[in-house]
Amino acid sequence: MNKEGTFFRLLKYMGRYKLLYAGLIITMLVSIVLDLSVAWFLSLITNAAVKLEVDRWPILILMGVGMLICISLIAYFDTYLKQKASLKIRNDIRQDTMEHALRLPQSYYDQHHTGDLLARFTSDNQAVGEASGNVIMALLKNPLLALCAFIYLLSIHWPLALITISIGPLMILAGKTFGEVMRKKGIRLQEAMGRTTSFLQDVLGASILYKIFGLEKKIANQYRQYSSEISEIERSQGKIQGAANSVSQGIANLTFIIAILLAGFFVAKGSLEVGAMLAFIQLMNYLVNPFSALPSLWSGMQQALAGAERIFQVIDFPKEYTELPQESHAKASFSELAVSNVGFSYTDSVDDLVLRDVRFHVYAGQTIAIVGTSGGGKSTLFKLLMGLYIPTTGTIEIDGRDREAIGLREYRNYFSLVPQESVLFTGTIRDNIMDGNPSVHEEQMIAAAKQANAYDFIMKLPDGFETEIGERGSRLSGGQKQRIAIARAILRDAPILLLDEATSALDNESERVVQDALTKLMVGKTTLVIAHRLSTVQNADLILVMENGQLVEKGTHDALLLAGGRYHTLYHSQMEKDEQSLVLEI
């Protein structure tokens, strides 16, 4: 995306608030008139003083007071409108970014760190908002103020005016030269801040880990590197900014000194009044200062465009849904789930498949267990079943229709999930359970908590269902979080239940309670479960054994043991480990 395209996209956001920017243009024009009036007023006072016109002083004082009041009012309204414009643009872009982020495919989140995405919501958004208010209005006002000051200077003394306007092309050239360099530095800075935000998000969410493993010094050193990278870029920006300011101030001061010397010369010759000279000096400020500020403003705009470019990269990423789907409700039932010749590659290349020729059928009411060693493709298969990825080869169909025919949102409404690591949102227990189905009544929510074996521990908490669970449920134990996740799945009441090693991270007592809750949840449901303990899936209607992305065996527990294949090896190996653990405990 080039910077021109980025800028015009920003203009479209600004175009939503035409009246607001019309108000800003009015305050800008009035401000310019008042600025020029100061030069005119200075000329009146000086000439009245030189000519000893004391009787004009009362009216001059009233004029001065009136100008001060007007300048103050315009400054207030101008600042207020700029802030309002900045806030509205930032809010619109934030909302558009969030709506798009919610529609991004899983592949985006697998390829990008959420901390980098967070930086685009925060620091990049802040830079864009600043540019949409203060910076862009200053870029409009300064050249216009300089032009009006030049016209006024022409009316006072045109030779001097021509000399002073020579600053313009030089300042524009300096602004363009340094601005392009600042834009590249701005992109690097925003990217470095994104990486640092990602690192901080990892660290600040893992305080227990770094405390126990003694990683404080290592993390401090890593953060020092990230921070040093940002500092180095900012230092480089400072050098460029300093050079830009030095060049612009040098040009401006040289022009100013030449103009003042010439103005003094013309006053001495009698071709220019003293009041006109003071007005000329004031107007010189309005001519020189806008051009002097141009490199800084230009670099600020370039940095904002760098931030906008990063934001639009998110917004332009292909999305799953055209529009945000309406609140979803689980499907009531289905008859058959068919996985036919499914192969999958994260790179969409048939030469790099992580799943190969996976095929099986699931019928309503069945329990299907998926077992195998780590890296066999079990979790990838679940991602395909949930519609998070599209199979590279083969199809997944529900009642004879694939997800394209059904529609992605409707397809996902057939499923409910209890993941290996409970995903809970900051908020209350009630909020997280009700995420399963926000439209249910209080009695149904309580019934779901009871069925999930969560009600008793919830009621022992000081605030019951209104208890704040902390970030990702940090105030709850692993078993408590998992039972809340089960209660959420109970409320969803989808016909196909996916259990992704839902008890693998729990202690024995918590596992027993959670397993009991899962058993209740599975009643009347079609369940596919990734199992790490084979003893829990002996009653499954069908067991799928996966290894290296392939379905190497399938059948019932008894049939697979009799076959003496891979499942037989896995089962007896796990039984031996369990017996050894039991002996050690005794």
Low-confidence ranges of the chain (pLDDT < 70): 1-4, 47, 49-51, 160, 163-180, 182-183, 204-215, 245, 248-249, 251-252, 271, 275, 291-292, 295, 327-328, 502-511, 577-586
Output the six-digit token pair for 113. Answer: 């760190």
pTM of the entire predicted model: 0.72
Q: How many CB atoms lie within 10 A of CB 417?
A: 20
Rounded to an integer, what distance in angstroms lies between the CA atom of residue 63 and that of residue 271?
Answer: 28
Sign of CA dihedral 249, 252, 258, 264: negative
Q: What is the pLDDT of residues 458-510, one digit of tens each?
A: 898 888 889 888 777 778 888 888 888 888 888 888 888 888 876 655 556 66
Per residue in 277-291, pLDDT (tens digit) is 777 777 777 777 776
- Chain centroid, CA 576 distance in Å: 49
Tens digit of each residue's pLDDT (9 = 90 or more) over 235-244: 877 777 777 7
Evaluate whether 385 touches 368 at the Cβ level (below 8 Å).
no
CA distance 141 to 289: 12
Q: How many helices (H) and strands (E) does the chain have?
A: 22, 10
Would you say 247 and 299 are in contact if contact means Cβ atoms under 8 Å apart? no
| Of residues 169, 334, 340, the one with CA closest to residue 255 | 169
What are the structural domain ranges in the chain?
A: 3-315
Beta strand 367-371 pairing with 526-530: parallel
| Complete DSSP assignment for 283-345 | HHHHHHHHHHHHHHHHHHHHHHHHHHHHHHHHHTS--S-SSPPPPP---S--SEEEEEEEEE-
The enclosing H or E element of 498 equals: strand 496-500
CA distance 237 to 181: 9
Q: Which amino acid is at 523?
A: V
Residue 295 and residue 248 in contact, taking contact as beta carbons nearer than 8 Å: yes
Rounded Cα gap, residues 48 and 346, in angstroms: 82
d(CA 153, CA 162): 9
Report yes or no: 521 and 452 within 8 Å, Cβ to Cβ: yes
| 132 secondary structure, DSSP code | I
In sequence order, the β-bridge partners of residue 362 are: 337
Please state, in angstroms and rounded to a whole number, the distance separating the CA atoms of residues 377 and 342.
Answer: 12
CATH architecture, range 3-315: Up-down Bundle (1.20)
| Element containing residue 554 per DSSP (H, E) | strand 550-555
Q: Helix (H, G, I), strand (E, B), or coil: what is residue 543? A: strand
H/E element holding 355? Answer: strand 355-363
Full DSSP string of 374-443: TTSSHHHHHHHHTTSS--SEEEEEETTEEHHHH-HHHHHTTEEEE-SS----SSBHHHHHHTT-TTS-HH
Report how far Cα 83 is from the mean position of its chain's Cα atoms. Answer: 22
Task: Output the pLDDT for position 19.
Answer: 92
Q: Tell me if 488 sits within 8 A of 424, measured CB to CB.
A: no
3-class DSSP assignment, residue 529 = strand
Question: Contact, 388 vs 336, CB < 8 A?
Answer: no
- Cα separation of 505 and 67, whole Å? 73
Structure confidence at residue 361 (pLDDT): 92
pLDDT at site 25: 92
**Terminal C-alpha separation, the chain:** 66
- How high is the pLDDT of residue 583? 47
